[in-house]
Amino acid sequence: MKKSLCCLALCGAFACLTAADKVIKLPPPDKTGGKPFMQVLTERKSKRNISDKPLTMQELSDLCYAATGVTRPDGRRTNPTARNIQDIVLYAAMKDGLYRYDPAKHELLLEQARDLRPFCGFQTQMHTTAPVVLIPVSDSAKMKAKRFPTDRIAVYAPMHIGFVVQNIYLYAASGGFATVVCGAVDTKKLAEEMKLPGDSLLYVTMPFGRE
Ligand SMILES: Cc1cc2nc3c(=O)[nH]c(=O)nc-3n(C[C@H](O)[C@H](O)[C@H](O)COP(=O)(O)O)c2cc1C
């Protein structure tokens, strides 16, 4: 009895994806953990030696929260955006499918039940081994709708993506994970495969996992 209870507890803590779940309800993020901040800054680095070890649901939850989670009752996030436009959409390409993060509900929504990691970068071995490749995309239509000048959109979109990239780097450093931001990507092809709306701006991907 004791043994089976222990097994159940372990399964919960280390639950990983098996089939293409339509909605992955993430557990609440752990907002108290992590290394001291100055140590995290010092340990932030690009790591390309990423194994195929799966992330636990808790780690996936903490990762999405760190990247662009909601921190305040008014819906503001871990990443800043000009006029709080919140144009960043975080995608997670995993073996069983492409998911989109919904920060308000803290859920991952299935976009496509197929493995898009091979399209995520020219370092294909690294991208297809990592359990998750994060793709922060700017939905620039939001800025257009609010009449941001075109030259501002060109500056803000990559800047906004950069904040999310750094959040992911810092979470990786804090939790002892491996990640690297990759610009060596056929972004046009990836955007097509992801079936992104026309105003989406995609520049980089981040394979993420354990060493
Ligand atoms: C915009 C950008 C694009 C990058 N593209 C790649 C890439 O395609 N592949 C890769 O292995 N590293 C890539 N890097 C990682 C850099 O090589 C790395 O940040 C740099 O060598 C400094 O190392 P550090 O991140 O450990 O400080 C990129 C970094 C940036 C900022």
- Tens-digit pLDDT profile for residues 81-107: 999 999 999 999 999 999 999 999 999
pTM higher than 0.75, yes or no? yes
Q: Which two tokens stand for residue 113?
A: 């039940």
- pLDDT band, very low/low/confident/very high, at 17 (cuts 50, 70, 90): low
End-to-end CA distance of the chain: 35
Which atom belonging to ligand 1 lies closest to the Cα atom of 126?
Answer: 11
Which residue among 182, 201, 208 is best mutated to probe the pocket of ligand 1, counting the most ligand atoms within 8 A of its Cβ? 182
Q: State if residue 48 touches ligand 1 by the CB under 6 angstroms criterion.
A: yes
Q: State if residue 45 touches ligand 1 by the CB under 6 angstroms criterion.
A: yes
Q: State if residue 181 touches ligand 1 by the CB under 6 angstroms criterion.
A: yes
Q: Is the pLDDT of residue 11 over 70?
A: no
Those residues with Cβ within 8 angstroms of residue 113's Cβ, 6 or more apart along the chain or in another chain: 20, 96, 97
* CB-based contact 211:178 (threshold 8 Å): yes
Mean pLDDT of the chain: 92
Q: How would you class 117 by CB atoms within 10 Å of its CB: exposed for 0-12, middle for 13-18, buried for 19 or more?
A: buried
- Residue that wins the pLDDT comparison between 83 and 17: 83
Q: For the chain, give every domain's residue range.
A: 2-209
Report the alpha-carbon distance of residue 209 to residue 49 in Å, rounded. 9
Query: How many angstroms is it from 99 CA to the middle of ligand 1?
Result: 24
- pLDDT band, very low/low/confident/very high, at 33 (cuts 50, 70, 90): confident
User: Average pLDDT, stretch 131-156?
Assistant: 98
Report the alpha-carbon distance of residue 46 to residue 48 in Å, rounded. 7
CATH of domain 2-209: 3.40.109.10
Residue nearest to atom 22 of ligand 1 (CA): 46
pLDDT value for 16: 52
